[in-house]
Amino acid sequence: MRALRPCSSPPYLAPVPQSSTSTLVAFPRQTRPRRRLQPFVLASAPAGQRGRRRSDDDYHATVRSLNSRGRHKPRKSLGQHYMLNSSVNEELVNVAGVGEGDVVLEIGPGTGSLTNVLINAGATVVAVEKDPQMAMLVQERFGSTDRLMVLQEDFTKCHIHLHLSSFLEKNHMERTPFAKVVSNLPFNISTEVIKQLLPMGDIFSDVVLLLQDETASRLADCSLRTSEYRPINIFVNFYSADPEYKFKVERTNFFPQPNVDAAVIRFKLKPTTEYPKVSSRRSFFSMVSSAFNGKRKMLRKSLQHICPSGEIEAALSSIGQPVTARPEELTLDDFVSLHNLIVKV
């Protein structure tokens, strides 16, 4: 893995554990007044534009930033689609209510267009970037600020809870005990990232993501007794309160243009004290997964590896469900009650 250039003075983020393979770049705490950042223009800009700053990140700025790293297009293997419309980034930040002093996690900053808006809103950004070239590009673009830290690693494998909880405790607990997540996610890892983020209600208050439109719609509004009602909906409702589909983003706003539209969704995470009361979260989600593995089967059949069918029928009756109930007929509260009746931990 290509290491990023370290800063010259001690970073104020907790060091990465010796067992971690990630490379952390943190800019030192500084006391000088914060400068408002503007999108950058590379030296390769046309003669008439040299010395001028762009007001937005657009197609041409994105292509030039990639070319500066010896790249001619985003990497398809990483699901990279860069945002070309700065107004979409501004709306993402507005939805999350990002303001002065907030700590924000950004996953996959790419060329830094959303990072720029977050920093201008007054946030300190922890950016996790798997692509070493993009990590270096973002570091160089914002090298003059003390409000950015770059963690070069695959987010799905990094110790983000450790990094953020340590940082909040040491540096920002007086202002806010929670961080926020604002990200334009690669579509191919969105579900995996959601599963990793939502159980972190002890360090995150809000998670605002730009996802594939179909995924955002399904997560925000999925009714009972439909084919779209799945275990992920139970998971989302367990850890967040009323996920909101905010607005659609046309595919033409991205480079390269994906085959589908996107949308912004907001998850307001529950504090850990408000999680449904189950004896074991692991056994609860295992039961839910088993229930949906045989979606058209009655629960008394799909869950009989947990306990006899007769006990399942009795439990269903006690929570007001018919003995012939199927998984798509049960709410989160129903599954919680059923688990606590039939699963012995």
Annotated binding site: 81, 83, 108, 129, 154, 184
| Binding-site annotation, residues for S-adenosyl-L-methionine | 81, 83, 108, 129, 154, 184
Within its chain, how far is the Cα of 65 from the centroid? Answer: 24
Comparing CA positions, the residue from 182, 173, 211, 42 lying closest to residue 123 is: 182
Q: Is the dihedral of CA 223, 189, 182, 17 positive or negative?
A: positive
**Helix, strand, coil fractions of the chain, as percent rounded to 5:** 40, 15, 45
User: Helix 231-239 and helix 190-197: axis angle, to 10°?
Assistant: 40
Q: How many CB atoms lie within 10 A of CB 91?
A: 18
Q: How far apart are CA 256 and CA 248, in angstroms?
A: 18
Helix (H) or strand (E) run with residue 202 in it: none
Contacts of 265 (CB under 8 A, 6+ apart): 208, 209, 211, 216, 219, 220, 243, 244, 245, 246
Residue 216 CA to residue 201 CA, distance in Å, equals 20
- Eight-class DSSP state of 166: H
First to last CA, the chain: 43
Question: Coil, helix or strand for 134?
Answer: helix
Per-residue DSSP letter, 22: -
Q: Letter for the amino acid at 300?
A: R
CB 312 within 8 A of CB 342: yes
Q: Is-contact 97 107, C-beta < 8 A?
A: no
Pick from 24, 30, 37, 23: nearest CA to 9: 30
